[in-house]
Amino acid sequence: MLTQTLDVAIVGAGPYGLSVAAYAQAEGLDVRVFGRPMKAWNQHMPVGMMLKSEPAASHLADPARAYTLEAYCARHGLEYAYGSPVPVQRFVEYGRWFQDNAARDVTVDAEVTEVGSEGGDFVLTLSTHERVRARVVVLALGFLPFARVPASLAGLPASVLAHSCQVNDLSGYAGQRVAVIGAGQSALETACLLQEAGAQPQVLARCKELRWNTVPVVERGLLSRVLAPESGLGTGWRSWVWAEAPGLVPFLPSSYRRHIVRTTLGPAGSWWLRERLESVDVRLRTKLVHAARRGGGVELTVKSRGHKETIEADAVIAATGYTVDVRRLKVLEPGLRAAVRHASWAPMLTREFESTVPGLFMVGLAAAHTFGPVMRFVHGARYAARTITPALVRSARERGRGGLLPAQVALSGTNDH
């Protein structure tokens, strides 16, 4: 495929990968993005789902700011307004339009099956069995590697259990009793879509009550905007800092960074979903204790208000979030993966997104424990792309002269647990 050594190989063609590519290409780097553009958004979210983020917080990033979601909607005569949720399918189409215009001719529609090192360069093995060399690699893997399923569900086979990121066409659940585990947007919206697809969903949540995001206020006075400024993560100064100044987050203690990632914008439903959920069966204060296969379905043992009982279902969907863990970066060959230092299994990154393996960078959810909660959302793509690009230029030039010595990888393998 490619006989020359690339400056930068980006693994993942979602919002972060495409945004980094647009910035890197503008700096004259020889860059390629590997993966099908917007695949995770297109194939790993239920059909009919809406973005929780506001349209203004859902732009991919190019240096000229010419290919925003707003520009796409204007060009195609689509609604773009504060408080108007964006369908996921529209966002997928926007991402592909962005790729065609801001990251043209750099996308390779092949998955990377392994990233290794050889002779001072990185070597990428593709799903086509071809191999590509690169001086620098950016992992833009998104959320899929980090899907978390509770231990209480671990014994169920895939025929009756799916994480919420594994469901796409919900029509296959029609007529089935589906237990949806969780209390966040993913759980609640999936339950609504299941019911609309002819299934019989039941939401099981540990919380005492569901939390809902507030209805957006379109017209706000000056004092209100000063006291609680708008940001890509909502209103308020705290949200503004996490959303608009993530460069400050690495200076905070590691334990506090983990705290803000875990607690900022926790499980809650969008305001526009509340009415649709009214007809869905929701059980609160219900903790899942055990799950077992029974006949053709599932028997769930739950604890509710101090009492144990069993619930029967035909299938289970775990909308139970994501946990960043370097051990799940299976795309890295074992030696490279072991060389990535971590804190509580989250990769330790520099303020320019570089890991402890020289030339190996990570953006998106994998960077949340360094840069805060904005890395869980599309809104963080611009900061990531803008910040990482000078480091990519520098690293590609330096490694073009010297490469990565095997001793450097070995020395970087000490980890903080």
Q: What is the mean pLDDT of residues 278-292?
A: 96
Beta-sheet pairing, 360-362 with 131-139: parallel
pLDDT at 401: 61
Whether the per-residue pLDDT at 307 is higher than 70: the answer is yes
Return the higher-pLDDT residue of 389 and 259.
389
Angle between helices 88-102 and 15-26 (to 10 degrees): 20
Q: What is the mean pLDDT of residues 344-352?
A: 96
Mean pLDDT of the chain: 92
CATH assignment of 6-146+322-411, given 3.40.50.720, 3.50.50.60, 3.40.640.10, 3.40.50.800? Answer: 3.50.50.60
80-123 pLDDT, tens digit per residue, is 998 899 999 999 999 999 999 999 889 999 999 999 999 889 99
Is it true that 6-146+322-411 and 151-211+268-318 share their CATH fold?
Answer: yes
Q: What is the mean pLDDT of residues 390-404?
A: 81
pLDDT-derived band at 415, boundaries 50, 70, 90 = very low
DSSP secondary structure, 118-172, as one string: ETTEEEEEETTS-EEEEEEEEE--TTGGGB---GGGTTS-TTTEEEGGG---GGG
Q: What is the mean pLDDT of residues 157-185?
A: 96
Whether the per-residue pLDDT at 153 is higher than 60: the answer is yes
pLDDT-derived band at 179, boundaries 50, 70, 90 = very high
pLDDT-derived band at 234, boundaries 50, 70, 90 = confident
pLDDT-derived band at 205, boundaries 50, 70, 90 = very high
pLDDT at 177: 98
pLDDT at 215: 78
Q: Are 57 and 379 in contact (CB under 8 A)?
A: yes
Q: What is the pTM of this model?
A: 0.92
pLDDT at 3: 60
Conformation bin of residue 406: beta by default, left when phi > 0, alpha when psi is -120 to 50: alpha
DSSP state of 412: T
Whether the per-residue pLDDT at 391 is higher than 80: the answer is yes
Q: How far apart are CA 172 and CA 168, in angstroms?
A: 10
pLDDT at 233: 87
Tokens of 132: 């590509």
Identify any residues that bridge with 312 across adjacent strands, giving them in sequence order. 299
Domain coordinates in residue numbering, the chain: 6-146+322-411, 151-211+268-318
Whether the per-residue pLDDT at 417 is higher than 60: the answer is no
Closest CA to 416 of 357, 367, 346, 354: 346
Whether the per-residue pLDDT at 216 is higher than 90: the answer is no
Q: What is the mean pLDDT of residues 151-180?
A: 96
Whether the per-residue pLDDT at 412 is higher than 80: the answer is no
Q: How far apart are CA 247 and CA 119, in angstroms?
A: 34
Backbone angles phi, psi at 258, to 5 degrees: -60, -35
What is the 3 state secondary structure string of 2-58? CCCCEEEEEECCCHHHHHHHHHHHHCCCCEEEECCCCHHHHHCCCCCCECCCCHHHC
Backbone angles phi, psi at 410, to 5 degrees: -65, -40
% of the chain residues with pLDDT over 90: 82
Whether the per-residue pLDDT at 388 is higher than 80: the answer is yes
Q: Using alpha carbons, list the distances in angstroms from residue 403 to 83, 120, 317.
A: 49, 4, 46
Assign domain 151-211+268-318 to a CATH class.
Answer: alpha beta
* CA 335 and chain centroid, separation: 25
Q: Are 87 and 81 in contact (CB under 8 A)?
A: no
Whether the per-residue pLDDT at 414 is higher than 90: the answer is no
Whether the per-residue pLDDT at 292 is higher than 60: the answer is yes
pLDDT at 5: 92
Burial 128-140 (b: 16+ CB within 10 A, else e): eeeebbbbbbbbb
